[in-house]
Structure 1
Amino acid sequence: MYYAQIRKFDTANGTGIRSSLFVSGCTHCCEGCFNQDYKHFRYGHPWTKDVEDQFINHLTNPNVHGVTILGGEPMDQVRDNDLLNLVQRIKEETKQNIWIYSGYTFEEIMAHPKTRAILMHCDVLVDGPFVENLKNLKLRFRGSSNQRIIDIQKSLQEGQVCVLENY
């Protein structure tokens, strides 16, 4: 896996002060994408054990209240197990909550074993492709009105998509 950037303190991509990882690589071709450079799977920097250890260590900072993974496309990171291993480590070692953004829908992610395995360790999913003609600058944490903010764990427990309405 490659990553485009890490924001140690981010307030734009989820609630509270978060650490955000922007992965590289995306197979979507969303018109109006704001991270075009991040579409290339080898853009940025290789994800290494040292980078991962530094990222995990930073999550112990008392000012950090969660992790956000976006990109690129996190659910396209199934060529190796780097992202799966990372979300597992985050949960095991830091207990931080994890928001993940995807151009795929919850239903599409759940239909594939590798993406489902990643999602199982996350708490909130912002799903669906960015749609230029549904763009709404007044929405919190998403770019277009078709995108949903989903409570993953509650959705898994109830067997249906549970949208967080207060966003």
Structure 2
Amino acid sequence: MNYHKYHSLDVINGPGTRVSLFVAGCEHHCRGCFNQSTLSPTSGIPVTQALVEQIIIDLQDSRIPRRGLSLSGGDPLHPANLDGILDIVTQVKAACPDKDIWMWSGYSYEQLSDKQRRIVAMIDVLVDGKFEQELKDPSLKFRGSSNQRIINIQTL
């Protein structure tokens, strides 16, 4: 699995201060996508165990407390990303059980495959649905268009 950006401090992609990973690979090709450079799963650079360890170190840093991890892209639930995302989520949950995990995906919750659902069951919040240019609404928090939903997975 590849990624394009890692932010050790982020206050935009989810509530509170967070760490954010933007992965490569998206098959939705939404018109108006703000992150088109991440569409190809072979773009970016490989995620390494050292990066996953850095994510955990940053999440555990008491000098700048972070609320959690945000996974975006691209699409974390792209088929090429599933094994890598599962590994990251598993390691983060084990090392940082008090941190939340937010994920953005162009797939709707109802469309998810069994493997995607196993991953989503381990996170806290899924922002689902393709970005739709004609439904764009800059006033929405944590999503770009009104069709996208913020789903608290732990209450399903």
Considering the TM-score relative to the shorter chain, is it more than 0.5? yes
Task: Indicate if the aligned counterparts of 1:78 and 1:115 stay in contact, CA closer than 8 A.
Answer: no
Equivalent position of 2:134 in the other structure: 133
- How many pairs align? 153
Q: C-alpha separation between the residues in 1 aligned to 2:82 and 2:34?
A: 25
Equivalent position of 1:53 in the other structure: 53
- Displacement of 1:78 in angstroms is 4.3
After the TM superposition, list the runs of 4 or more consecutive aligned residues in structure 1 that deviate by more than 4 angstroms.
77-80
Give the partner amino acid of 1:107.
E
Gaps of 5+ in 2: none
RMSD: 1.2
Q: C-alpha separation between the residues in 1 aligned to 2:55 and 2:116?
A: 22
Gaps of 5+ in 1: 156-167
User: Aligned runs of 1:106-117 on 2, under 5 Å?
Assistant: 106-109=109-112, 112-117=113-118
Question: CA distance change for structure 1 residues 103 and 79 in 2, over 3 Å: closer, same or farther?
Answer: closer
- Displacement of 1:54 in angstroms is 1.5
79-88 or 128-137, which moves further after superposition? 79-88
Higher relative contact order (CA 8 A, sep 6+): 2
Task: Indicate if the aligned counterparts of 2:14 and 2:70 stay in contact, CA closer than 8 A.
Answer: yes
Equivalent position of 2:105 in the other structure: 102
78-87 or 25-34, which moves further after superposition? 78-87
Equivalent position of 2:24 in the other structure: 24
**TM-score, length of structure 1 as denominator length:** 0.88
Give the partner amino acid of 1:5.
K
User: Aligned runs of 1:3-42 on 2, under 5 Å?
Assistant: 3-42=3-42
Which deviations, in whole Å up to 9, do the C-alpha atoms of 1:99-137 show, x marking residues without a partner?
Answer: 00010111112xx12111110110001010000000001
Equivalent position of 1:146 in the other structure: 147
**TM-score, length of structure 2 as denominator length:** 0.94
SS of 2:54's equivalent?
A: helix
Task: Indicate if the aligned counterparts of 1:2 and 1:43 stay in contact, CA closer than 8 A.
Answer: yes
Equivalent position of 1:65 in the other structure: 67
Equivalent position of 1:92 in the other structure: 94
SS of 2:56's equivalent?
A: helix
Task: Indicate if the aligned counterparts of 2:124 and 2:154 stay in contact, CA closer than 8 A.
Answer: yes
